[in-house]
Amino acid sequence: MDGELSPQDKKDLDKFIKFFALKTVQVIVQARLGEKICTRSSSSPTGSDWFNLAIKDIPEVTHEAKKALAGQLPGIGRSMCVEISLKTSEGDSMELETWCLEMNEKCDKEIKVSYTVYNRLSLLLKSLLAITRVTPAYKLSRKQGHDYVILYRIYFGEVQLNGLGEGFQTVRVGMVGTPVGTITLSCAYRTNLAFMSGRQLERTQPIMGIIIDHFVDRPYSGSSPLHPCNYRTTGEDDGGNFPSVDDSQEVCTTSFSTSPPSQMVIPSKEGGIPVLPLHPAPGVQADGERVPTCNLTDMNQHAATTPSSSGEAELLSKSSEGKSGTPQDVLETTFTRKVGAFVNKPASQVTAANMDLPFAVFAPKIVESEDTDVMVNPPDSPILESPLHASLHSDQSSGSSGLTQDEFVMVELKPAFSKDDFLPMDLGTFYREFQNPPQLSSLSIDISAQSMAEDLDSLPEKLAIYEKNMEEFDAFVDTLQ
């Protein structure tokens, strides 16, 4: 079979398939980064844009893809798969979709490799770009952040669709026939994005109703770790294209001929592309176990390295601060957040009562310093879940800790919008006094304890006194008129 394909054609075809696979992975992962993608058209070919499409190359993704391929090409029985999954801040994960690049045995001997196959692969990539915005996981990935992140995993070999739940759908992106087989690209995606059920009793309430269907602690049979989709390397911020530099510095074919195939000339400019220095973010290791955090202003630290038996790398959501430690700490750091005003102390005493107080939410929040805050340093795992649960639950209610101040020691109260100590009476003091005014004396209990009988008994005496002073009273009334 291969004998009919010229060596040059075979070489070209292998190159096309390899770079098509790499670009496919880039498109899929970039579509799940959670941001809109925009690349510029360029009328003059640079020689580095494979398939005449401006698709940026994230170096880590290329690295992972090459690692998964391990020098092989997708072929018959050897599929390249990109698995997209969702991982909540509680550690539950769910597979959302699996993109499969496969090859079947149906060959198209007549097709022109370096022209028709190339153009059709380009068309297929365009279709992939469009379809990745249409599957359900796209919307989820655009909303990732605090509560969940989207991860990807690349593997090579047999397609595994077990994790997609019942009733998963498959959509075919397209097919391209080649002399050695037909390349097909398809996506199997989960449709059952139901709320948690059953297991709820064992776990805390989900935050804001995260869509979770199952959360098996997945035994990763393969060695391919999960990677987050929402990270950036510093190199990416430079903008523009950087060609995927691989060992042989191959560049793509951008020249075509309108003359008959036998005279086709394809100048390939191997070795002519300058090697762009890759800009790995500090701390990134080649094995992909640590990944840099994304480019938000509150993210200066790197994600924790979590030692796990399966070599799984985890990135935390955008709100996390990096801390190294056990998975438990990792779990907890995703919830670390600055304690702002009106944040409830995460204690079990928090009640939704005392709502009848006006401005209950402004009631003095018993805020301890961060060191003793349960949210930041959970004492141990059994308690870990309930404070988180309680704090999150109470975030949604406007209940306050309208308890008496006797139970807590006020360390510091920072009411929002108050200036610091210009007046002797600051806002915090005002709140305190306002919320706990002294009882009116007339309403005090002593008075009400008096009985009616006593009142009646004292009446005649009072009447006698008033009659004696009647003249004074009359004179007083006259002065009023």
Partner 1 sequence: MNCRSQILELTVEARQIEETVLAVLHTVLLHRSSGKFHYKKEGTYSIGTVGTEDVDCDFVDCTYVRVSSDELDRTLRRSVGEFKDALRNSGSDGSGQISLEFYQKKKSRWPFSDECIPWEVWAFKLNVVNLANEQERQICREKVGEKLGEKIINIIEVMNRHEYLPKMPTQSEVDNVFDTSLRDVQPYLYKISYQITDSLGTSVSTTMRRLIKDTLAL
Phi and psi angles of residue 170, each rounded to the nearest 5 degrees, phi first: -125, 135
Least distance CB 50 / partner 1 (angstroms): 10
Joined tokens for residue 38: 């925009």
For residue 99, give the H/E element and its range: strand 93-104
Determine if 134 is a binding residue for partner 1 (CB under 8 A): yes
- Binding track over 81-120 against partner 1, x by CB under 8 A: ---------------------------------------x
Q: Tell which positions 217-246 bind partner 1, by CB under 8 A.
A: none
For residue 46, the minimal CB distance to partner 1 (Å) is 7
Q: Which residue, 177 or 364, has its beta carbon nearer to partner 1?
A: 177
Euclidean distance between the first and the last CA atom of the chain, given in angstroms as a whole number: 126
Say if residues 458 and 466 touch (Cβ distance below 8 Å).
Answer: no
Rounded Cα distance between 202 and 257, Å, is 66
- 2/58 Cα distance (integer angstroms): 34
Query: What token pair was written down for 16?
Result: 């096309």
* Residue whose CB is less far from partner 1, 265 or 477: 265
3-state secondary structure of 213: coil
Q: Which is nearer to partner 1, 79 or 114 (CB)?
A: 114
- Closest distance of CB 195 from partner 1, Å: 18
What string of DSSP letters covers 380-415? Answer: SHHHHHHHHHHHHHHHHS-------GGGS---B---
Q: Of the listed pieces 5-13, 42-50, 152-160, 415-423, which binds partner 1 according to CB under 8 A?
A: 42-50
- Using CB under 8 A as the binding rule, whether residue 41 contacts partner 1 is answered as yes
Euclidean distance between CA atoms 393 and 377, whole angstroms: 19
Q: How many residues touch partner 1 (CB under 8 A)? A: 42
419 is an interface residue for partner 1 by CB under 8 A: no
d(CA 21, CA 117): 14
The owner of tokens 């975030």 is: 395
Q: What is the distance between the alpha carbons of residues 205 and 385, in angstroms, rounded to a whole number?
A: 9
- Output 52 or 301, the one with its CB closest to partner 1: 52
Count of CB atoms situated within 10 Å of the CB of 293: 24
- Candidate residues 79, 85, 244, 254; the one interacting with partner 1 per rule CB under 8 A: 254
Alpha-carbon gap, residue 308 to 274, rounded angstroms: 39
Do 194 and 115 touch, CB atoms closer than 8 A? no
Per rule CB under 8 A, is residue 255 in the interface with partner 1? yes
Between 11 and 126, whose beta carbon lies closer to partner 1? 126
- Using rule CB under 8 A, residue 259 touches partner 1: yes
Quick check: 54 binds partner 1 (CB under 8 A)? Answer: yes
For partner 1, the binding residues in 159-188 under the rule CB under 8 A are 171-176
Among 2, 8, 45, 195, binds partner 1 (CB under 8 A): 45
Position 127 contacts partner 1 (CB under 8 A): yes
Smallest distance from partner 1 to CB 251, Å: 12
Stretch that binds partner 1, among 41-49, 307-315, 328-336, 372-380 (CB under 8 A): 41-49
Residue 123 as a binder of partner 1 (CB under 8 A): the answer is yes
Cβ atoms of residues 33 and 230 within 8 Å: yes
Which among 411, 427, 424 is positioned nearest to 359, based on CA atoms? 427
Smallest gap from Cβ 54 to partner 1, in A, equals: 4
Interface residues toward partner 1, by CB under 8 A: 36-46, 49, 52-54, 120, 123-124, 126-127, 129-131, 133-134, 138-139, 142, 171-176, 254-259, 263, 265
